[in-house]
Amino acid sequence: MARLEPPQLIDPFQRAITYLRVSVTDRCDFRCLYCMAEEMTFLPKRDLLSLEELDRLCTNFIELGVRKLRITGGEPLVRKNIMWFFDRMGRHLGDGALDELTLTTNGSQLSRFAKTLAHAGVKRVNVSLDTLDEAKFKRITRWGRLAQVLDGIEAAQAAGLRVKINTVALKGTNDGEIHRLVEWCDAQGMDLTFIEVMPMGDLGNEDRLDQYYPLDQLRADLGERWTLTETDYRTGGPARYFRVEETGQRIGFITPLTHNFCESCNRVRLTCTGQLYMCLGQDDDADLRKVMRSGADDAGVKAAIGEAITRKPKGHDFDYSRQQVDGQVGRHMSVTGG
């Protein structure tokens, strides 16, 4: 039976924090243009939380009222022995303490792990896929192979996992494919969510402004062919969902820039090094690895989590409206977890 206790993590704006996104690794087998630099320097093993530490931290969050856990990276499925961690989190599904265990992946390893994920209790996965054109896919991911991802999606569906496609809207790259993506997802029985590119890691040679394709414009472009009706469907994340009347499928829009979704934010993010970010678009964090490795017991860990939640801001400051990148965050998306 599901646990009925009220949430214990309430931020200063009276929002209950019930959703934790956990990055289990900073490593990835792709180098997507908007997520990583091509030549990344990855963290030494000693800096990463062990799988046992991740298990302990996530369990503490669940005991404080987190009901949904999403595992991210980097690419989470490249971490050695990661299925042990999924099995450990699956026990919280069995005792009713956790409502949902989900995964965001690039799909490259799903052919290997889809059945094991389903056995651990994962019911659905989000697959990041920005194009169905093999040459564009290679250019966006730098290292990826489209066929491997498509095989992974097929394996996930065969294992009984619901697959949702996440597509980052990139001007000049996939803006000519939006109708094809809608058709393909409908044919495969998958929902589709478009995401605005965010100013993460823009302190070097990456220019997000050139890539920025506002979803207001994308939705208008879709409207030239499809009839979109807004729904009240929610998955606990920031997407607003519309029904495509011609097909019946759902299309989501995540719009951190054109329509700030912060008002109802119920999420925090834990990095693979134990830093807790209360907001994707702010640099304030709490070092939970230091708390654990200093010898704190679970009560001390919970106290540190609770203190961090008192610093959760009302919202982020991302803004492209003046044709410049305001409110940018220096860390790459892969550091925080997508």
| Domain 19-336 grouped into CATH 3.40.50.1220 | no
Tokens 């519309």 belong to residue: 242
Contact 150, 114 (CB under 8 A): no
Q: What is the pLDDT of residues 135-149, one digit of tens each?
A: 999 999 999 999 999
| DSSP conformation class of 186 | H
Whether the CB-CB separation of 177 and 135 falls below 8 Å is answered with no
Handedness of CA 103, 104, 108, 111 (dihedral sign): positive
What value does the mean pLDDT of the chain take?
A: 88
Helices (H), 109-265: 110-120, 134-141, 146-158, 178-188, 208-211, 215-223
Residue type, 262: C
Q: Is residue 85 helix, strand or coil?
A: helix
pTM: 0.88
- Cβ pair 288, 270 in contact under 8 A: yes
Tokens (6 digits) for 165: 């496609």
Cα dihedral 155/158/161/163 (nearest 10): 60
pLDDT in tens, 82-141: 999 999 999 999 999 999 999 999 999 999 999 999 999 999 999 999 999 999 999 999
Round to whole Å and give the CA distance between 106 and 160.
Answer: 18
